[in-house]
Amino acid sequence: MKLRPYQDDLVNKIRDSIKSGSKSICAVLGCGGGKSVIQGKISSSATLKGNRVLFLVHRKELCEQIEGTFAICGVNFELCDISMVQTVSRRLDKIEKPDIIITDECHHSLAKTYIKIYEKFPEALRLGFTATPVRDKEGGLGTIYETMITGVKTEWLISNSFLSPYKYYSIKLAETKGLKTKMGDFDKKQVALLMEKSQIFGDTVDNWLKISPNTKTIVYCSTVEASKKTAEAFNKANISAAHLDGETPKAKRKNTIDDFRQGKIDVLVNVDLFGEGFDVPDCETVVLLRPTKSLTIHIQQSMRSMRYKEGKTAVIIDHVGNVYRHGFPDDEREWSLKSKKATRKENEIKIRDCIKCFTTFSFNHRVCPFCGYEILNESRYEKEMIDYELEELDRKGMLSKQNYAFYEKLKTFEQVKKFQKSKGYKFSWCLHKCKELRISIPNKYDYRLENFM
């Protein structure tokens, strides 16, 4: 298997770093850049020279996948052990001493199980590979790796047709404010309660039909129950869908994935299965129904639809606002090995939504990069006709008596503003709901939006 030029370049940089005396190297390459092939070539070269390789993965599902890639790359398996980190950490006295330890998805390297292995074999050359060299709680990986080598960025991979361009849609179906944090991410029990509301599943299907119908789609859910209900909602709408999770029997999982690959299933709904490093069938759309504080999870899941195909534009439908916490998949990010907090505060990232084509993009744009709509001209949409029902209710003095959920029926800025005043809510509530309902907000309130968003 011949490496692409940018992959060869990364391998050469690693070799040069080793020659200069580096004993522990973290290699960074954008998601979809082909890290497993690079790892296979390095392992093949190492075993050819008689060096023993210990290759660490964090999930059992990855072992068979990596073995297939390594076989194509010509790795000598008599000198290469591919194992789960949990297994190796329990059997350290039975593991043959490695010359090289290669760690897949090495942002996990700060975990105690990995450190236990590294400390057992301190003389081994240490190589780690990841697209996101941070651990959500600890920050950089400087306590494990002394050198960082970066390959090409995600934006470069898109521009050079190694990944597909994408459109991003952020349509919140659940508000994550107030959720507690446990182990660096949102509390699973609270997320389960938030995401298992019946209207979420129906709205997920409705939005899919509006934005990206008839596309091969992977949906990421927070819980098994939510995943099953989401698949059920798609099937009720006569859209073939199936649910998978980590407990799904291997044979059933394989058959389901094969059906998806062959087009017998349109939508594959899962819980933390098609995540880091897992090779999934080509798809055109991903739907995010799992809110996360992890930059790594966000990038891994949002980019699953971006495998390159000529003429393809991937679609990402974010129903949980992950883009507002982490930004876009191809955002420029400065990585560091320093052990400090590397994540931004929630809501610090500013995003715009186009009211014409409904795509999501950087707040710095004043013109939609997808349809060319000028954000400065939004005021022309302000003078829409007031909904008859709202006017009738207002004339009878009944608007203030409507329940809170009535705002979901509103269609224009003036309607939302009128309802806000009738209820005695703050004006910020009006701005928030207009954004949620994807309603144009007049330009004269831009100064309020700067502080609000």
* Helix (H), strand (E) counts: the chain: 16, 16
> What token pair was written down for 451?
């502080």
CATH number at residue 19: 3.40.50.300
Based on the fold, state whether residues 184 and 97 are members of the same structural domain: no
Task: Tell me how long the chain is.
Answer: 453
Q: Are residue 392 and residue 323 in the same domain, yes or no?
A: no
Mark which of 362, 384, 399 sits at the end of a domain: 362
Contacts of 165 (CB under 8 A, 6+ apart): 158, 313, 314
Beta strands in 77-188 (DSSP E): 80-84, 100-104, 125-130, 147-150, 166-170, 181-182, 185-186
Residue 368 inside a domain? The answer is no
Q: Give me the number of domains the chain comprises.
A: 3
The pTM score is: 0.77
Report pLDDT digits (tens) over 231-286: 999 999 999 999 998 888 889 988 998 999 899 999 999 987 775 555 666 899 99
Determine the angle formed by the axes of helices 61-72 and 35-48, rounding to 10 degrees.
60
* C-alpha–C-alpha distance, residues 394 and 392, integer Å: 5
Query: 221 with 135, same domain?
Result: no
* 66 and 48 housed in the same domain: yes
User: Does 40 reside within a domain?
Assistant: yes
Task: Tell me the pLDDT tens digit for each residue of 50-65.
Answer: 999 999 998 877 888 8
Q: Is 314 found in the same domain as 277?
A: yes
- The per-residue pLDDT for 91 is 93
Residue 241 in any domain: the answer is yes
In a domain, 369, yes or no: no
Given 102, 125, 152, the domain boundary residue is 152
Instruction: For residue 51, tell me if it sits in a domain.
Output: yes
**By residue range, what is the domain housing residue 398?**
375-452
The reply to whether 144 falls in a domain is yes
CA distance 208 to 214: 9
Same domain, 350 and 285: yes
List C-alpha distances in Å: 212 to 18, 207, 217, 317, 328: 47, 8, 9, 9, 19
Do 196 and 66 lie in one domain? The reply is no
Note whether 266 and 328 are same-domain residues. yes
Same-domain pairing of 112 and 175: no
144 plus 65 within the same structural domain: yes
pLDDT of residue 392: 40
